[in-house]
C-alpha cells in the first residue's frame, strides 16, 4: 500500500510518500510544494498548491492519503488561510479518488515519538529512524512523512485485531438458523 502524507501550509505544504508492506515501511519520496510569492493573490497561491499536489500525485501514484488537521491558532486570519490551503490540497486528493484520512498533530506525534508534546526535531529524528534514512528530511517533509506513518499504523490496527481474534473465533461459518 502506498501512502502520501500531507502537512498543509499556505506558504509551504510538505508531502511524504511511503510504501507499507506488513510492518515494513519504505521511504519513496518527500518534499515541499511552494505556493509562490506571498504578494500574489490568495486564489493564485491556492491554485499553485492544487497544481503542485496534482503533479506529486501523478508522479508517485499513492493509493491512500492522510493529512494533518488544522489546529486553532491565536490568529483567526491565519487559521482561515491555513484551512483554505488545506482545502485546496484535499480537493486535489479527492479529484484523484483517493481516500483521505485526517489526523491531529497530537495523534501524529504520539504515533511517531510516543508523546503528543514532541518537538519538531524529535519528530524528524524518529521519522529518520523509522524509515532508515541517512539524514532527516526538512521539517515540513518530516511532518508529512510522520502523517503517512501514523496513517499506515492506524490502517493496520483493524487487520491486527482480526488476526489476533481469528484463532479464538475459529473458521468462518454461516450462522446457524434458529428453529421456532
The domain of 70 spans 2-169
Known catalytic residue: 19?
A: no
Q: What is the DSSP code (8-state) at residue 35?
A: -
CATH classification at residue 102: 3.30.420.10
Residue 88 within a domain: yes
Residue 22 within a domain: yes
Grid cell locating 116: 503528543
Q: What is the DSSP code (8-state) at residue 134?
A: S
Known catalytic residue: 143?
A: no
The predicted-structure confidence for 146-162, as pLDDT tens digits, reads as follows: 999 999 998 865 555 55
pLDDT over 80 (residue 60): yes
Please name the residue that has the C-alpha cell 501512502: 3
Grid cell locating 70: 488544522
DSSP conformation letters of 53-115: HHHHHHHH--SEEEEEPPPPPSSHHHHHHHHHHHHHHHHHHHHTT--EEEE-HHHHHHHHTSS
Across 56-85, average pLDDT: 91
Residue 176 within a domain: no
Residue 118 within a domain: yes
pLDDT over 60 (residue 173): no
Neighbours of 5 (CB within 10 A): 32
Strands 100-103 and 2-7: unpaired
Q: Above pLDDT 90, what percent of the chain?
A: 72
Residue 117 within a domain: yes
Of 45, 87, 47, the closest CA to residue 70 belongs to 87
- Residue 162 has a pLDDT of 52
Residue 137 within a domain: yes
Distance CA 102, CA 179 (A): 46
Domain total in the chain: 1
**What pTM, to 2 d.p., does this model score?**
0.85
Give the active site residue among 19, 34, 58, 68: 68
Give the active site residue among 7, 34, 69, 102: 7
pLDDT over 70 (residue 172): no
Known catalytic residue: 102?
A: no
Distance CA 144, CA 43 (A): 24
Grid cell locating 1: 500500500
The predicted-structure confidence for 92-113, as pLDDT tens digits, reads as follows: 999 999 999 999 999 999 999 9
Amino acid at each position: 500500500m502506498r501512502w502520501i502524507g500531507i502537512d498543509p501550509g499556505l506558504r509551504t505544504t510538505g508531502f511524504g510518500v511511503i510504501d507499507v508492506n506488513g510492518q515494513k515501511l519504505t521511504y519513496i519520496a518527500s518534499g515541499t510544494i511552494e505556493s509562490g510569492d506571498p504578494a500574489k493573490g490568495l486564489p493564485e497561491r491556492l491554485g499553485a498548491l492544487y497544481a503542485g499536489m496534482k503533479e506529486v500525485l501523478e508522479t508517485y501514484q499513492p493509493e491512500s492519503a492522510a493529512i494533518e488537521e488544522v489546529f486553532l491558532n491565536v490568529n483567526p486570519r491565519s487559521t482561515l488561510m491555513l484551512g483554505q490551503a488545506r482545502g485546496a490540497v484535499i480537493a486535489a486528493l479527492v479529484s484523484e479518488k483517493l481516500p483521505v484520512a485526517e489526523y491531529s498533530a497530537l495523534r501524529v506525534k504520539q504515533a511517531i515519538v510516543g508523546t503528543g508534546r514532541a518537538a519538531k526535531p524529535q519528530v524528524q529524528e524518529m521519522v529518520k529512524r523509522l524509515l532508515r534514512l541517512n539524514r532527516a528530511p526538512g521539517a515540513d517533509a518530516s511532518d508529512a512523512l510522520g502523517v503517512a506513518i501514523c496513517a499506515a499504523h492506524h490502517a493496520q490496527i483493524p487487520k491486527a485485531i482480526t488476526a489476533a481474534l481469528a484463532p479464538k473465533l475459529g473458521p468462518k461459518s454461516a450462522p446457524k438458523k434458529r428453529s421456532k
